[in-house]
Amino acid sequence: MRVLVTGGAGFIGSHVVEALRAHGHEATVFDIRSDPAHDVRDPDAVRRALSGVDAVCHQAAKVGLGTGFGDAPDYVSHNDLGTAVLLAAMAEAGVRRLVLAGSMVVYGEGRYDCPRHGVVRPGPRSVADLDAGRFEPRCPHCGTWLEPGLTAEDAPLDPRNVYATTKLAQEHLAAAWARSTGATAVSLRYHNVYGPRMPRDTPYAGVASLFRSALARGEAPRVFEDGRQRRDFVHVRDVAAANVAALEAEPPPGALTAYNTGSGTPRTVAGMARALAAACGGPEPVVTGEYRLGDVRHITADSSRLRTELGWKPEVEFEEGMREFAAAGPRDGAP
């Protein structure tokens, strides 16, 4: 299969390219990093790149929480306009297979259980609670502190920031394209991806990258809130393997199929920071109590659907992955 990988020179995309080639596929990189003319928002460049292509693995995106709402036009331009241009060109060229780099941020907060009301959806945490160090979400019905659980693909979608909103819009565009053309579309909703080639800290970098950069400077990682917020950290090679599995699968045509792509093992942010500090031989993390509006408290993956339907499973153990990540040098530039 000849696969066009948008963003194929980036952190995740470069691993996807390697995994595709290892499985006997021809992977073509389309990335503005390797060629300034390879802008996914340029219809002519995209049309040329799609010549002879069997499938597209769409990794190109502006990522991260951003630095304020002033970033909104840039996010929408790169993520949503870029995706619309790509899909329009695919429809014209007759390319009918897409794998999209989705994100767990489309869920907003994860799954929560109230002892009185069962599964509930908390609203955004109040500034008053955050300022007072009360970080756990409350039941919207009775105000009780909630117990987090694993989030499945059928959870309600509730993007809480500009980046999250653009990632959900990408899925809606892909679903509309699949319905219109009878094509197959898969969104892999990545959880917290880490591993070699992760970029050095930028305003858009992941928390693992920020912690590693601090440790490289001999500084303690600064952990926001109380450090007990839960995430699912999944190694980039496992994510790349999920992309290959999705490209080789036969999902139902005319619709978008979403899969959580995570390890399935919840870990606290402070726990990750401690593991990384130990792997680096650096100072213990410092829990600061700071917070960012727009951050969610807990979001961890139920990835059983991906395992069952595509036969995928994560292979890199967390401690092994953290040691490798600590030893790998940081990469310049945004992912």
Percent of the chain with pLDDT over 90: 88
Q: Tell me the catalytic residues.
A: 163
Q: Rounded to an integer, what distance in angstroms lies between the CA atom of residue 252 and that of residue 250?
A: 7
The average confidence (pLDDT) of the chain is 94
Q: Rounded to an integer, what distance in angstroms lies between the CA atom of residue 51 and that of residue 15?
A: 23
Mean pLDDT across the stretch 184-209? 86
* Cα–Cα separations (whole angstroms), residue 20 to 27, 73, 96, 97, 111: 6, 33, 18, 15, 33
Query: pLDDT digits over 252-298, tens only?
Result: 999 999 999 999 999 999 999 999 999 999 999 999 999 988 788 99
**335 pLDDT above the threshold of 50:** no
Q: Starting at the edge strand that comes first in sequence, how are the strands of the sheet with 55-58 ordered? A: 26-30, 2-6, 55-58, 97-103, 184-190, 255-261
Note the pLDDT of residue 161: 87
Confidence of residue 149 (pLDDT cuts 50, 70, 90): very high
Q: Rounded to an integer, what distance in angstroms lies between the CA atom of residue 70 and that of residue 213?
A: 26
- The closest of 194, 310, 190 to 245, measured between CA atoms, is 310
Q: Pick 293 or 94 by higher pLDDT.
A: 94
Note the pLDDT of residue 333: 46
Mean pLDDT across the stretch 228-253? 97
DSSP line for 104-134: GGGGSS-EEEETTTEEE---PPPHHHHHTT-
Note the pLDDT of residue 328: 86
3-state secondary structure of 2: strand
Confidence of residue 332 (pLDDT cuts 50, 70, 90): low
Asked if 36 contacts 24 with a C-beta cutoff of 8 angstroms, the reply is no
* Cα–Cα separations (whole angstroms), residue 229 to 107, 114, 163: 16, 18, 20
Q: Could you tell me which residues are beta bridge partners of residue 309?
A: none
Report phi then psi at 256, rounded to 5: -105, 130
Mean pLDDT across the stretch 102-107? 95
Asked if 57 contacts 9 with a C-beta cutoff of 8 angstroms, the reply is no
Asked if 14 contacts 67 with a C-beta cutoff of 8 angstroms, the reply is no
Mean pLDDT across the stretch 166-186? 98
Note the pLDDT of residue 12: 96
Q: What b/e string do you get for 95-124 counting C-beta neighbours within 10 Å, with b at 16 or more?
A: bbbbbbbbbbbbbbbbbbebeeeeebbbee
DSSP line for 7-68: TTTSHHHHHHHHHHHHTT-EEEEE-TTT-TT--TT-HHHHHHHTTT-SEEEE-----S--SS
Mean pLDDT across the stretch 109-114? 95
pTM of the model: 0.94
Q: Which of 12-16, 199-203, 277-281 has the lowest mean pLDDT?
A: 199-203
Note the pLDDT of residue 87: 98
**306 pLDDT above the threshold of 50:** yes
Query: pLDDT digits over 19-75, tens only?
Result: 999 999 999 999 999 999 999 999 999 999 999 999 999 999 998 766 678 899 999
Which tokens belong to 67? 């630095």
Which tokens belong to 228? 């007990």
Note the pLDDT of residue 290: 96
**334 pLDDT above the threshold of 50:** no
Which tokens belong to 183? 């094509």
